[in-house]
Chain A
């Protein structure tokens, strides 16, 4: 009898990416995200965070190395909600279902459930321009969840929001991730955000992006971004991040 060991939800092995003749953007990055884990990738500008997510989402091809995602295609959220302005909130969610081949009757029901999940059940008929930034990002989340993938990739999804809305959406994300049992790969340049959300934080260097260090966040949820535990770990990580950035000043 063969015993199949459950692999990680996302396995990134020896990933290198460069564009044309430019120097490597990512260099030999290896990561494993366990099923149900919330992993935050942290780095300054130029660490190739977005490039990494693009590779995991199969939008780009790696120069070397491999990516494996359990259960096929992951869903991806961007910094911009990137909702389609010619559709209503509900139609945006329905389009994701439609492109997956979900039938018309089911689409309607699923879209309603998903909007209820992100607490926007009354906003379904609204057009994108009628929604606030936070509401748009929640519709984008409902659309991402409509893909029915258990792996959610997030590329600085809250960076463009005001602090109050961001704080609320952090809590919302934690709640949804638990109820949907999602595996999340979350990219940010905000240290506290990484510690607030992640089970684990991976620090990437810049130019080229390499894995510098990993941190286990042993703080129970619900956490608050203002809490001393979050602050303490954030200070330690920020120190490492700064010394990483300082290296670049010395080189030039």
Chain B
């Protein structure tokens, strides 16, 4: 009771009412739209565009502007996908590639997170490693494939090495920029509240850096997937399990244009699916909790 003081007096009640009124006037009213409607609003425009694209493709095919050997029809491509599926190659290759991508991404995560923390928080490390780390981000990781083949031969190690070189800089740089975006005032408040050292990192620094870090993760996945495809396209050997990239290159060797198109489409679809099912919701949740709007996919 001592905490609340005397609340029976008239003027205090007036003040309480006044405050309640102000709060009500100034608070945002949340607009609730149903999830289904939101999902629909986000889905139909790209679907319409996709249909248009396929329509144009079909028209070009019908007009015979391009030699049909070079340009398969949409239905040829779908049939090719069906054949790959019926033979079981598509599932096997997809699973292999997704597994490699996920493992490579997780390994990148394990390396890049402490690296990003070091670069972000330790000044000498930042001066020395920072520029190289951001430089590496603009180096296409496919450039590492020849070197990796010389070092590790045509092995899984080569593939994982290339994935790591692609994803680690992205994730580490995301961590660094997340740390840079932490308002200094938050750290000061943390100190006033008595948070030092590990407690400050755990309760203030890391949660405050999370949006940048999650952005880095999302980009890191995109780089993992791209690097993986580059590696799979170049590094082919019977010893390596069949991946989507290898499947695509196999079609090229057989001059199977429909198969090549099918390959491109499966790579695209898998990349988008992982993005939509894992990273987009993750980022959206982190940002929405803070009242920030997520960037649209």
Contact = CB atoms under 8 A, between A and B. Distances in A.
Interface string A82-104: 10111000000001101110000
B82 interface: no
Interface of A: 57, 59, 73, 75-76, 78, 80, 82, 84-86, 95-96, 98-100, 113-114, 116-117, 119-120, 123, 127-135, 143, 147, 164-165, 168, 171-172, 175, 178-180, 222
Interface stretch (B20-28, B58-66, B138-146, B234-242): B20-28
B189 interface: yes
Interface of B: 2-6, 11-12, 15-16, 18-20, 22-23, 26-28, 30, 183, 185-186, 188-189, 191-195, 199, 203-204, 207-208, 210, 289-292
Instruction: Classify the secondary structure of B's interface with A.
Output: helix
Nearest to B188: A59
B22 A129 contact: no
Contacts of B30: 130
B291 A128 contact: yes
Task: Report which residue of B4, B189, B210, B292 has the largest number of chain A beta carbons within 10 angstroms of its beta carbon.
Answer: B189
B291 A99 contact: no
9 contacts: A84-B207, A100-B193, A119-B19, A128-B290, A132-B22, A132-B23, A134-B23, A175-B15, A179-B6
A57 B188 CA distance: 11
Contact of A80 (B12, B28, B185, B195): B185
B195 A99 contact: yes
Instruction: Classify the secondary structure of A's interface with B.
Output: helix
A57 B192 contact: yes
Task: Report which residue of B16, B183, B188 has the largest number of chain A beta carbons within 10 angstroms of its beta carbon.
Answer: B188
A99 B193 contact: yes
Contacts of A133: 26
Given A80-B185, A99-B199, A128-B290, 16 more contacts: A59-B191, A76-B192, A78-B189, A95-B193, A95-B203, A99-B195, A100-B193, A120-B23, A123-B23, A130-B291, A134-B19, A143-B193, A147-B192, A172-B19, A180-B3, A222-B11
